[in-house]
Amino acid sequence: MKKLFIGLGLCSLAAPLFFGCSSKKEEAPRTKSTQDDTNSDINTNDGMGGGKGTPETGAQAPACSSFSGLSMCDAKESTASKLNVNLLLVIDKSGSMDDTNGFADSKWESMKQALEGSLTEVQGDLNIGLSLYPMSADPRFRINKTTCGETKNCCEMPTDSTPQILVGPGTDTVPKIIESFVKIRPGGGTPTATALEHALEYYIQGAGKDLKGDKYVVLATDGGPNCNAASVCDAAGCTWNIEGRAGNSVDGMNACLGTSGKQACLDDDATTASIAKLRDAGVQTFVIGVPGSELYGDLLDKMAEEGGRPVEGKKRKYFEVDAKAGVKGLTNIFRTITQDLVTSCDIQLDETPNSFVNVNVAVDCDIIPQTKDGMAGDMGAGGGNSSNKNWIIDMNTEPATIRLRGEVCKRVEAGVERVDVILGCPPVF
């Protein structure tokens, strides 16, 4: 499992203290931060050239040669930690999730196995929650796959935006998430826009607003969004026609005519708008397309790009699950997201530094100059200039927080081995 190590040290003239990270060849063992942080990985070294290592194993992480010239430093030890990562899984439980579409088992059972295989590996590092959709407002009357059309609750969603499992420490929530896939069965339509609106309300206005750290949504769906009773569409925009469902699509006629049929219209605009609102609120969305969703590939691409976390280097911008890869393929996608990509660009210091000028930040041992206007009243700290949008020191938090920006943040999000911060030393550039 790939780990991003965060190091921070305050240097002294005699023996600089360095908090280092794993090398690219061998990952350093983890040690616990002194802070209550579920996503902290800190390994101490005494001196710029390596040192005493971790208390548990004695192994050590290499120091950055980039810092070899640092001097005139404070002598007090300090720590740094990544801020928490909060992940809300928004999972489609529509009736089609009971189908196989090429999987050995149903997509619902495959989803359970994939989550169990991936989330248990990161449950000690992430805060995780679960929101299934559609869901009956009254848990006593669940949405039944075969009878929801008669009871007219196929698209039902509760007015309360609180997810079924609140985002919390994965050690507490992951077992509950896995259990949910045993207790709850697929059924209903695909009210994706409403589910995403609920995620936004939870994160911004509900109980999730008090969560510390970065916030993400992982959306997994096996079809096109619908369930908007206000929709009007022709045959080309009707999900029943698109999917060629028996009994709904006849000789190319619009199967979405009539009051009940409107809810089968493709709800593309509202769904992408909901994802854009999440992104504007600082919540990025990963989009996973389970087999059956390939009919809506272009829309899922757009949703992934609106979410701010599209797949890089591939034709499809969403995470496309290949049925031939089975549960293993779906598991690996969740692993990629939870282990490599949900990386915070904020570094919480344990105390505000005495000098905002004498701060050095390095990514994979490359010194990164501070943004010129990196803090109020400071011009050029860290050798930055107006064209550098690299990192700033946020004095509005107590203690201060270093926030990576622009291409530096993108670089960290894409996956790096280490981020180091040295306080109390003149800038190196």
Question: Is the pLDDT reported for residue 108 higher than 80?
Answer: yes
pLDDT computed for residue 72 by the predictor: 46
59-67 mean pLDDT: 58
Asked if residues 84 and 40 have their Cβ atoms less than 8 Å apart, the reply is no
- Which among 132, 20, 35, 6 has a CA at the least distance from the CA of 65? 20
pLDDT computed for residue 11 by the predictor: 52
Report the range of poorest mean pLDDT among 30-39, 194-203, 254-263: 30-39
Q: Are β-strands 346-349 and 401-404 bridged in parallel, bridged antiparallel, or unpaired? A: antiparallel
202-229 mean pLDDT: 95
pLDDT computed for residue 73 by the predictor: 52
Going across the sheet that includes 214-221, the strands are 165-169, 127-133, 85-92, 214-221, 283-289, 319-320
82-110 mean pLDDT: 93
| 15 or 390, higher pLDDT | 390
Report the range of poorest mean pLDDT among 84-93, 136-145, 159-168, 339-348: 339-348
Question: Is the pLDDT reported for residue 77 higher than 50?
Answer: no
Q: What confidence tens digit (pLDDT) does each residue in 16-36 have?
A: 323 332 223 333 333 333 333
Question: Is the pLDDT reported for residue 419 higher than 90?
Answer: no
Domains of the chain: 1-20+42-71 (no CATH), 85-228+267-341 (3.40.50.410)
Tokens representing residue 357 in the block: 């000028």
Element (H, E) at 197: helix 192-204
Q: Is 141 exposed, middle or buried (0-12, 13-18, 19+ CB in 10 A)?
A: exposed
CA distance 51 to 62: 8
pLDDT computed for residue 79 by the predictor: 54
Residue 244 makes CB contacts below 8 A (sequence gap 6+) with none
Amino acid at 318: Y
Kindly report the CA angle at 112 between 107 and 117, in degrees rounded to 5?
120
| 8 or 213, higher pLDDT | 213
| 314 or 401, higher pLDDT | 314
Report the range of poorest mean pLDDT among 23-32, 166-175, 272-281: 23-32
Question: Is the pLDDT reported for residue 41 higher than 70?
Answer: no
Q: What is the DSSP string of 133-174?
A: ES--SSTTSPPPTTTHHHHT-TT---S----SEEEEEHHHHH
Asked if residues 49 and 89 have their Cβ atoms less than 8 Å apart, the reply is no
Going across the sheet that includes 401-404, the strands are 80-82, 346-349, 401-404, 391-394
Question: Is the pLDDT reported for residue 12 higher than 80?
Answer: no
Instruction: Quickly count: other Cβ atoms within 10 Å of residue 281's Cβ.
Output: 12
Amino acid at 134: P
Query: For the chain, what percent of residues have pLDDT higher than 90?
Result: 48
Residue 377 makes CB contacts below 8 A (sequence gap 6+) with none
* For residue 134, cis peptide bond before it (omega within 30 degrees of 0): yes
* For residue 175, cis peptide bond before it (omega within 30 degrees of 0): no
Question: Is the pLDDT reported for residue 230 higher than 60?
Answer: yes
365-377 mean pLDDT: 67
| 402 or 268, higher pLDDT | 268
CA distance 408 to 371: 11
Per-residue confidence band for 55, with pLDDT thresholds at 50, 70 and 90:
very low
pLDDT computed for residue 167 by the predictor: 98
Report the range of poorest mean pLDDT among 18-27, 172-181, 380-389: 18-27
**In whole numbers, what is the pLDDT of the chain averaged over residues?**
79
Report the range of poorest mean pLDDT among 187-191, 289-293, 347-351, 365-369: 347-351
- Which among 328, 364, 358, 351 has a CA at the least distance from the CA of 397? 351
End-to-end Cα distance, the chain: 32
Question: Is the pLDDT reported for residue 90 higher than 50?
Answer: yes
pLDDT computed for residue 413 by the predictor: 73
pLDDT computed for residue 62 by the predictor: 60
Residue at token pair 């916030």: 215
Question: Is the pLDDT reported for residue 121 higher than 70?
Answer: yes
